Amino acid sequence: MGEGARVRPEVERAANGLRVRGHGLYLEPSGRPPLGFLAHARGAKRVLPERTVATAPTIAMLQAAQPRSLKRTAALPAAYGKPFALGSLRLTVHPAAHVLGSAQLRCEGEGIDLVYAGDIGGSGARASLTAEPREQLECEALAIRAIYGHPRFVFPPREELLERVRAFVEKALRDGRTPVLIAAAIGVTQDLVGFLGDRGHTLQLHPTALRACEVYAAQGIALKNFGSEGDVLVMPPTARIERLKLGEHRVAILSGRATGDDIPLSDHAGFDELVDYAVRSHAQRVFTVGGFAEDLAAALRDKRIAAFPIREHHQLRLPGF
């Protein structure tokens, strides 16, 4: 991009968050704008837009977890790979591989060819066991979340990490202690159920995770040996273990931010995968959003990609704009 060139960004900051430029469509907004896209159900806000574009599995998980929120929005179900019109935009959702039903959104219209990748999951040896495989999209402009956009977040293969979890569980049981796994209720928990359940363990789940597993099962994901009792306890990070009378137990935290003896099992793509996705998109402009947006944008610029961080509380500005 030459010095002084004028570029109109395809995304802009507005009252309720990130919005497609020149349109009323918000991308995972806060508050209650008239129209918004929800990329996945994990961490969904209690207040949804007046109309919400999401996949059917995402809507089903919202129905199970927060039905009151869903009643206050007009849900607009979107199927993978099937374009539909919304105003002057042509929209298509594609699998993001973060959690079941997670989606990338392609927005096409006059002067716009934008993909909002949001939270994407890993692929290949790092892919989730229970989310739809990620699609690699090509576009003119890409907006991608940078939660793990720092070079220190490079994750091992998923099977290797799950084997580490199994080793932790089986050692705790041999020592007469209850293994407690701290994991996201949607995403990592279902991979744990699939992996450990197939190996003979029974998993006791927090109610939030239990409801999510029931939705996964209803959507055709094969899960077994989970319920309100089991030899392995799985809790979300927000739960308070001290309220439970566990007796002797051992705790492992499963997170992409894990340190020390904990296990970096994440349902997000790591730094190297974010960079690779952006390169393979062949986007002329990449907007890195939130998290480590500055670090990810710098890494992409090192690869001669025009990349611009979007800070959470500042209006986006491009050179010459």
Encode pLDDT of 18-42 as tens digits: 999 999 999 999 999 999 999 999 9
Query: Residue 90, SS3?
Result: strand
How confident is the model at residue 1, as a pLDDT? 41
The Cα–Cα gap between 303 and 283 comes to 12
The CATH class that applies to domain 11-153+268-310 reads alpha beta
Encode pLDDT of 177-189 as tens digits: 999 999 999 999 9
For the chain, the domains span 11-153+268-310, 158-253
pLDDT in tens, the chain (321 residues): 444 345 678 999 898 999 999 999 999 999 999 999 999 999 899 999 999 999 999 999 999 999 999 999 999 999 999 999 999 999 999 999 999 999 999 999 988 999 999 999 999 999 999 999 999 999 999 999 999 999 999 999 999 999 999 999 999 999 999 999 999 999 999 999 999 999 999 999 999 999 999 999 999 999 999 999 999 999 999 888 877 878 899 999 999 999 888 999 999 999 999 999 999 999 999 999 999 999 999 999 999 999 999 975 544 444 332
Tokens read off for 167? 């080793």
How confident is the model at residue 8, as a pLDDT? 74
What does the H/E/C string look like for 250-318? EEEEECCCCCCCCECCCCCCCHHHHHHHHHHHCCCEEEEECCCHHHHHHHHHHCCCEEEEECCCCCCCC
How confident is the model at residue 242, as a pLDDT? 77
Dihedral (Cα; 214, 217, 223, 226), 10-degree rounding: 10
**What is the pTM assigned to this prediction?**
0.92
The Cα–Cα gap between 300 and 55 comes to 30
CA 45-191-212 angle, to 5 degrees, is 40
Encode pLDDT of 269-283 as tens digits: 999 999 999 999 999
How confident is the model at residue 314, as a pLDDT? 45
Query: Residue 178, SS3?
Result: strand
